[in-house]
Structure 1
């Protein structure tokens, strides 16, 4: 099965970013999929209150999507806001952070994958690049200040009405400059489920935030951190999923070996993207298949990314893009093998 990821490059208002994103997804099956897995009605006022507190411009982006898809704002909010989303089971995602680079895999099923890589330069927030989730959210990404972040599902224990982690990531990319800024915002955002957030910045500060609807803890290190799908803070271990912990522990053990012999940026990327790697999975029917690899070098200011089984990674000089030089690529191509 072919996997195609569209590349969007938008330098405009938040409304227009939403409108153009809506045009991109209008004829994609993912819109109908969101309609099946999201609620038909949410508390719009509460959603707006949260957005107005942390990211009011995203309301404009939702308005743009609504106009593009010719649907009411209330419907767009249910489909794409990431607020009060029903429980979903997710499996994979592995990351490693050093003072030099950030590298991660996103593992899930293609039926719930937007298939969009967005590079946006809004008028009123920070520019960023990353993979879309639920249209306006992000799986992972980097912003103009070299702040990188990705999400890692842990469990639905103590599930609560709140924001999905992919919207939290979008808010962080749009408004935070450093790892410390991101940590502080993650302590304030109302989380809906248990997730890890892998974080790094161009000052060499790396962290893993272990977040639940009721508690947020932080792990930090000077050299290397790994992040997978279980909590490592003692106070949170009871919230781990037992059936997934073994796989997560194995991946974490594999990543920890790089502390003694740290690979280069490109070597680490290959450790994640190579289909023969212990970090690459093809259990797509079980929502545990590698869909993309995302990496960022703080010194080089370059993005390195590829989708599953691609024969070529895309490397982006992010500094040049921020200065107005668009990339030529339009689509990332890969292959899904069940």
Structure 2
């Protein structure tokens, strides 16, 4: 789940919450598990905030117009979940109710190659806490699930990495929820140039900053909005504003300028490399501990597109490392509190039923919808 404008109150500080890493090629038992766990909460939010089954035809028309490659994925997801009309419409991500997440993200090119790092800030109980490796079309994708089928951040086997932050504006319009846009970029794009071109043509229903990095160390941050054209920048970082502070209360509450100024100083440090950048993201003001207020760092993700590797990291020094070729199926528990967060247990599991190792099994390019 995600933090919503006008949604439920943030929970009390959680003690322990479960994460999982799952893998399968086409949507099957692993994705069905994600749907069954996530849909009850998403359904309550979606219907309470105005989601309508009657809009399905219009939503599918928008999907075909702007992201035609995603219709085949949508059909398989609906079939796999045995989705009713509400879920089928939700999975198009067309003009969903308003929501936001607060995050920081940055890119760096050090001696080991380019890096994309991000903090995902939210009430941890509202996040789906699932790392999923898939091959839904013709690219293998690793990323953190958002909205069951979308992604908050991720990387594909062509070497493109993507991450999002909320853009700090209240404007709302017709367009897609940004998690599906991230999924789309990683399913169809090879590099930053491809992704920038795609973002120029796909409407986003709220303001978000999309930071892109590829294995050649090209990067861009694209500022999306429902009421103005995408603004492409060469900024190597983003927090929760675009062209200045346009929502003053949110700007104060999220400390977006403080985090932005801090990132600017960190990235200008001579000889900066991955270890120092990770330490910065695991420390204040980038790392947030206001879990009781719905604004704490749920996870820190580090993507290395040249190596095809990524990590989830915690302030206690623990990390979950994986790559396209070495992707352990795990469940692990993270503890949150005023101290921050720490990894407290890890359980390695057998492959979920129907889950295929990397490079095996069908993708939607071969099996088709239904």
- Is TM (by shorter chain) over 0.5? yes
Q: Alpha carbons of 1:135 and 1:195: their partners in 2 closer, same or farther (altered >3 Å)?
A: same
Q: 1:305 aligns with which of 296, 312, 315?
A: 312
- CA deviation map 1:152-209 (0-9, x unaligned): 1124533112101111100000011111111111110011011111111111111110
Aligned counterparts of 1:209 and 1:161: Cα–Cα separation in 2: 18
**Is structure 2 residue 130 aligned with structure 1 residue 116?**
yes
- Cα drift, residue 62 of structure 1: 3.5
Aligned counterparts of 2:86 and 2:28: Cα–Cα separation in 1: 14
**Is structure 2 residue 275 aligned with structure 1 residue 269?**
no
- Cα drift, residue 112 of structure 1: 2.5
TM-score between both structures, scaled by the size of structure 2: 0.77
Contact 2:209–2:223, Cα closer than 8 Å, also in 1: yes
- Cα drift, residue 42 of structure 1: 5.0
**Is structure 2 residue 176 aligned with structure 1 residue 168?**
no
- Cα drift, residue 262 of structure 1: 4.6
Partner-residue secondary structure (3-state), 2:167: strand
Show the counterpart of 2:242: 231
- Cα drift, residue 40 of structure 1: 3.8
Instruction: Please list, as runs of the form range in 1=range in 2, the aligned pairs for 1:177-326 lying within 5 A after superposition.
Output: 177-213=190-226, 214-220=228-234, 225-232=236-243, 237=244, 240-246=246-252, 247-257=255-265, 258-272=267-281, 274=282, 276-306=283-313, 312-318=318-324, 321=325, 326=326
Contact 2:176–2:203, Cα closer than 8 Å, also in 1: yes
Aligned counterparts of 2:258 and 2:168: Cα–Cα separation in 1: 18
Q: Alpha carbons of 1:77 and 1:287: their partners in 2 closer, same or farther (altered >3 Å)?
A: farther
Aligned counterparts of 1:299 and 1:64: Cα–Cα separation in 2: 31
Unaligned runs of 5+ in 2: 1-14, 339-370
Instruction: Please list, as runs of the form range in 1=range in 2, the aligned pairs for 1:68-87 lying within 5 A after superposition.
Output: 68-72=80-84, 74-87=85-98
- Cα drift, residue 32 of structure 1: 1.6
TM-score between both structures, scaled by the size of structure 1: 0.84
- Cα drift, residue 277 of structure 1: 3.2
Show the counterpart of 2:59: 47
Aligned pairs, how many?
A: 312
Contact 1:150–1:197, Cα closer than 8 Å, also in 2: yes
Q: 1:95 aligns with which of 83, 105, 125?
A: 105
- Cα drift, residue 333 of structure 1: 2.7
Contact 2:18–2:334, Cα closer than 8 Å, also in 1: yes
Larger mean CA deviation between 284-293 and 112-121 belongs to 284-293
Show the counterpart of 1:33: 41
- Cα drift, residue 58 of structure 1: 3.5
Structure number with greater CO (CA < 8 Å, separation at least 6) is: 2
Aligned counterparts of 1:278 and 1:36: Cα–Cα separation in 2: 33
Aligned counterparts of 1:25 and 1:82: Cα–Cα separation in 2: 15
- Cα drift, residue 230 of structure 1: 0.4
Contact 1:20–1:65, Cα closer than 8 Å, also in 2: no
- Cα drift, residue 311 of structure 1: 5.2
State the Cα RMSD in Å. Answer: 2.2
- CA deviation map 1:218-273 (0-9, x unaligned): 1115xxx11110013xxxx47x221232411110111111223353223322322x
Contact 2:259–2:285, Cα closer than 8 Å, also in 1: yes
Aligned counterparts of 2:329 and 2:277: Cα–Cα separation in 1: 23
Contact 1:146–1:301, Cα closer than 8 Å, also in 2: yes
Unaligned runs of 5+ in 1: none
